[in-house]
Amino acid sequence: MSDCIFCKIVNRQLPAEIIYEDNNAVVFKDIIPKAPVHFLIVPKKHIDSINALLPEDKGLMGELFLVAQKIAREKEISGYKLVINVGREGGQLVEHLHIHLLSGKITELP
């Protein structure tokens, strides 16, 4: 999607503090963190939200959770929260599926 902010970050058209990347995902720091540690785990494939998942995305979703685990281990984060907001009413501000990885005192849920 040409106007998607996360697609632009994935394609390096917009800057972000990227901390991890592989063939299917990019992880970067949230620019408005809600906790001392607040990373966004974003699939490179544009998917609007959980509601837009297709059966063939099952493996990708598993990979995203394994990326969360890998980042937590690499950053020595022992306790954390994973949050996926779905739709505007669910708090989703960017229409590109993403997982928030938060640790430390959370000021508010994203």
- Integer Cα distance of 99 and 81 in angstroms: 10
Q: Is 46 a catalytic residue?
A: no
Q: Which two tokens stand for residue 106?
A: 């959370």
Residue 32, C-beta contacts closer than 8 angstroms, at least 6 positions apart: none
Fill in the DSSP letter of residue 60.
H
Fill in the DSSP letter of residue 64.
H
Q: Which of 38, 96, 98, 100 is catalytic?
A: 98
Cite the active site residues. 98
